[in-house]
């Protein structure tokens, strides 16, 4: 069977342009809208309640105004229950809060309550950033030792590409960012670099067989040779994640969504960004251009 071959290097500017557009949109959203941090980072109380009769969000909002918390966030879930995010409250204040709602709407049951103090939220955010920094440093060291510094730089750039696009989309659509989001980002780090290293390894194998002026052919051939494996791996991972996103519970929805975005972006960046960018770096170091 004839091997698939595509001129990835020659088309690299198209990949670069698409990524730049996505990165600019992500950066603009982060700077203008910011992130929709959950109570894990900001601190607060998250109440999952059910009312024994059918009510609408407007009814719940009106009941909250009676408590002096008319600005609290309310979300109606698929099963007819409600999720309310309010400021941090001690248990006695929570009881008063729920009692006022119950007086207005009817019997109200708290299905789940989560309270995080502001100090703890800041601590979780700091530890998450430290974990990301350590992961980045270890990844650079690993790729540099196994390959060379150009592989390390382009590999990390593609990783940041995947992470930043995931962050950007969460900012654009104002999806909630909680502690599971940090776990998803760390998972994306590991998963995304896996595809990239497979391509880098094939490039390294092929380098010794050709002349330097055939570097573009080496990159194209290496990507083409590993393309089926990369796509099959990514698709087989995405399918169960999509199923969990569609049919799973609300508690894991945003974690799974971040994973879907990161894995899809990782498959794209490994093929269209990392290897072609390594080609540009290699040619620049030799004062050559394709």
- Measured CA to CA, the distance from residue 268 to residue 245 in angstroms comes to 21
Q: Residue 112: helix, strand or coil by DSSP?
A: strand
Task: Check whether 182 has a pLDDT greater than 50.
Answer: yes
- Measured CA to CA, the distance from residue 84 to residue 234 in angstroms comes to 36
In 3D space, the residue among 267, 197, 272, 263 whose CA is nearest the CA of residue 230 turns out to be: 267
Share the mean pLDDT of the chain: 83
Give the domain ranges of the chain: 12-38+120-285, 44-116
The mean pLDDT of 70-75, rounded to a whole number, is 78
* pTM for this prediction: 0.80
Amino acid 212: pLDDT: 54
The mean pLDDT of 86-108, rounded to a whole number, is 84
Task: Check whether 258 has a pLDDT greater than 60.
Answer: yes
The CATH number of 44-116 is 3.30.70.3400
In 3D space, the residue among 260, 230, 215, 262 whose CA is nearest the CA of residue 12 turns out to be: 215
- Measured CA to CA, the distance from residue 275 to residue 7 in angstroms comes to 12
Query: Does the fold of domain 44-116 match that of domain 12-38+120-285?
Result: no
Structure-token match 């599971």, residue found:
180
The architecture of the domain spanning 12-38+120-285 is Up-down Bundle (1.20)
Contact present, 185 and 257 (Cβ < 8 Å): no
Question: Token pair for residue 125?
Answer: 């955010």
Split at pLDDT 50, 70, 90, the class of 135 is: confident
191-215 confidence digits (pLDDT tens): 888 888 888 888 888 876 655 557 8
Share of the chain above pLDDT 70, in %: 92
Q: Residue 16: helix, strand or coil by DSSP?
A: helix
């Amino acid at each position: 069977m004839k091997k698939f071959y595509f001129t990835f290097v020659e088309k690299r500017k198209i990949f670069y342009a698409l990524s730049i557009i996505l990165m600019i949109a992500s950066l603009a959203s982060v700077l203008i809208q910011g992130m929709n941090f959950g109570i894990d980072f900001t601190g607060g109380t998250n109440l999952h309640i059910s009312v024994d009769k059918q009510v609408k969000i407007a009814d719940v909002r009106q009941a909250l105004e009676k408590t002096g918390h008319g600005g609290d966030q309310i979300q109606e879930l698929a099963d007819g229950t409600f999720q309310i995010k309010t400021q941090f409250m001690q248990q006695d204040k929570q009881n008063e809060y729920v009692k006022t709602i119950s007086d207005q709407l009817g019997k109200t049951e708290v299905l789940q309550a989560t309270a995080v103090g502001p100090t703890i939220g800041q601590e979780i955010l700091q530890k998450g950033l430290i974990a990301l920094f350590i992961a980045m440093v270890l990844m650079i060291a690993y790729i540099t030792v196994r390959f060379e510094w150009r592989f390390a730089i382009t590999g990390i750039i593609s990783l940041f590409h995947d992470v930043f696009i995931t962050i950007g989309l969460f900012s654009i659509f104002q999806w909630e960012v909680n502690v599971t989001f940090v776990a998803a980002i760390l998972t994306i780090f590991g998963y995304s670099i896996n595809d990239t290293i497979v391509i880098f390894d094939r490039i390294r194998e092929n380098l010794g067989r050709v002349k330097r002026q055939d570097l573009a052919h080496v990159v194209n051939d290496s990507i083409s040779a590993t393309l089926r494996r990369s796509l099959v791996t990514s698709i087989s991972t995405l399918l169960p994640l999509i199923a969990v996103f569609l049919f799973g519970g609300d508690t894991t929805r945003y974690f799974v969504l971040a994973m879907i975005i990161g894995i899809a972006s990782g498959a794209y960046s490994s093929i269209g960004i990392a290897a072609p960018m390594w080609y540009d770096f290699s040619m620049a170091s030799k004062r050559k251009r394709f």
